Amino acid sequence: MSFFRLRPVAGCCWPAIPEGSLSQVWTAYLALERTQWLAPTEIECGQLEQVRALLEHCVRHVPYYHALLAAHSITPAAIQSMSDFRRIPLLSRQTWQSHFEKFCAGELPAGTVALDEDSTSGTSGIPVRVLKTNICYLWWLAHYLRDLEWSGLDPTGTMAVVRATLKTGAELEQFLQGTRLPNWNPILAPLIDMGPLFAMDMAQDPHRQIEWLRGVDPHYFLSHASNLELLASILLDEPRRFPRLRAVQAISETLTEEAQTRIAQAFGAPVKNLYSCAEAGYLASPCPKGHGLHVHAENVIFEVLDDSDQPCQPGATGRVVLTTLHNFRTPFIRYEIGDQVTLGQGRCPCGRGLPLLTRVFGKRRPTFIVAGRRRKHSSDLVHSLSLIGGHHQHQAVQQSLDRVVVRIVPNRSWTADHADRLHRAVQEFFEAPIQVTLEIKDRLELPPSGKLQSMICEVSDGGQAAAG
């Protein structure tokens, strides 16, 4: 039996068939239902077939790849294995930004239509532009359906969403107060039965978010990972019940195992983690049997490389390199996204042949400049501030070599002792008697993307400032 209830064409109650304009989406979703069970070797063969078609297009219509492949004597027909594919040089974010126009296709395949433009949030620098097509959205919708099914989110229930809406003026005010929309996804509403969606802008005060959520009393709740962590911290101090809540879905940011446990405890519901990005859309979703996250290999070639640019072994942690398989307008080929993940130990016990990830670390946190002008990773500082406790959120900003600002959103247990311990922890991390300024906040200011930057280095030391 299908996980979804189709809205059939009038007069065709059984067997139900989808409305004409959405039949391609349903066909793509059904194709994903089949390909997830293929053996890893079969999935790889399909990826290589698709990437050869993409490269043929790039040679003819995408200036950057035309020149790159010619310079390395690579022909699309010669890509018969992943080893062949890895002859293509890696692509950095800086190269994409510097030569964006050369990544834009001069023509598109028949039936492919240019649509809108998207971009990354820009939390790690200048945003990356992405041009989309109807085929990009076709596969995005198909993977949206797959993610709902794998996560067990029944779209006939009610969904509450708190996220950065990017609204302005009267629309923003409407979303700050919370608004009701007729369905989860207006594009798919003619295809499947859907319940209502309740939406609020994440700029709203977190205590107000919680009271609004109690009033809405949804079956499912979706928000940015950092916002869920903040709400969970408040709820663990001031418990509330959400009687109908079946699951919480975290989006947009890295969700640590510790945070996932705290959010589940606070809300009294399991937490589902979605891994996606603006450049490629859906990357991985929860294994239905709980073994980690399955990569959507029909959407991307997802490489995990070590420091020598070689594929990581099962169980190892490495950096993510992406190839988008269906964006023929601005193709990303062997693109270093800046994330780190841990691979699963071989094929998933659930039987799916799709690659398995056991952890997603997201963007690497920035380094700070400590005594002797050495670079030091900020993870240790994150850990130290978390252990001190007494607060809902923190943010550390190195403004100069001898000055750090730490912003704290305290909870009810915060005392002067917490402040003293925080000062000592920062001094110990920087290994020098630097100036530490503590700012007590009601909440941390969010950028327009809604992605919280907990560690920020504004000291270039010959390079760019960094955030994470």
Q: Token pair of 280, please? A: 């490629």
Q: How confident is the model over 387-398, as a mean pLDDT?
A: 88
Segment 223-229 shows an average pLDDT of 89
CATH 3.30.300.30 domain residues, the chain = 367-467
Query: What is the value of pTM for the model shown?
Result: 0.82
265-288 residue pLDDT tens: 999 999 999 999 999 999 999 999
Q: Is the Cβ–Cβ distance between 132 and 116 less than 8 Å? A: yes
- Number of residues assigned to the chain: 468
**CATH for 367-467?**
3.30.300.30
CA distance 426 to 432: 9
For strand 281-286 and strand 293-295, is the pairing parallel, antiparallel, or unpaired? Answer: antiparallel
pLDDT in tens, 173-207: 999 999 999 999 999 999 999 999 999 998 888 89
Query: What pLDDT, on a 0 to 100 scale, did the predictor assign at position 121?
Result: 56
- Distance, in Å, from the CA atom of 344 to the CA atom of 317, rounded to the nearest integer, reads 10
pLDDT at 290 over 50: yes
The DSSP H or E segment spanning 224 is: strand 220-224
pLDDT in tens, 55-98: 999 999 999 999 999 999 999 999 999 999 999 999 998 899 88
Determine the Cα–Cα distance for residues 96 and 78; give it in Å rounded to an integer: 25
DSSP category for residue 6: B
Q: What is the mean pLDDT of residues 35-49?
A: 98
**Max alpha carbon distance in the chain (Å)?**
77
Q: Where residue 389 falls among pLDDT bands split at 50, 70, 90?
A: confident
The per-residue pLDDT for 335 is 98
Per-residue pLDDT averaged across 405-422, rounded?
92
Topology of the domain comprising 19-154+219-364 = Rossmann fold (3.40.50)
Position with higher pLDDT, 121 vs 223:
223
**pLDDT over threshold 80, residue 120:** no
SS3 343: strand
CA dist., res. 149 & res. 126, Å (int): 35
The closest of 222, 227, 153, 217 to 393, measured between CA atoms, is: 227
Q: For the chain, what is the mean pLDDT?
A: 90
Question: Can you read off the two tokens belonging to residue 274?
Answer: 């979605």
Confidence of residue 365 (pLDDT cuts 50, 70, 90): low
Residue 463 has pLDDT above 60, yes or no: no
The per-residue pLDDT for range 121-161, each reduced to its tens digit, is 554 445 789 999 999 999 999 999 999 999 999 999 999 99
Query: What pLDDT was estimated at residue 253?
Result: 79
Q: What torsion do the CA atoms of 152, 157, 161, 165 make, to the nearest 10 degrees?
A: 110
SS3 for 179-202, per residue? EEECCCCCCCCCCECCCCEEEEEC
Average pLDDT for 35-53: 98
The pLDDT of 426-454, averaged and rounded, is 83
Least reliable range by pLDDT among 188-197, 316-325, 372-381 = 372-381
Q: Report how far Cα 51 is from the mean position of its chain's Cα atoms.
A: 23
CB 453 within 8 A of CB 395: yes
pLDDT of residue 63: 98
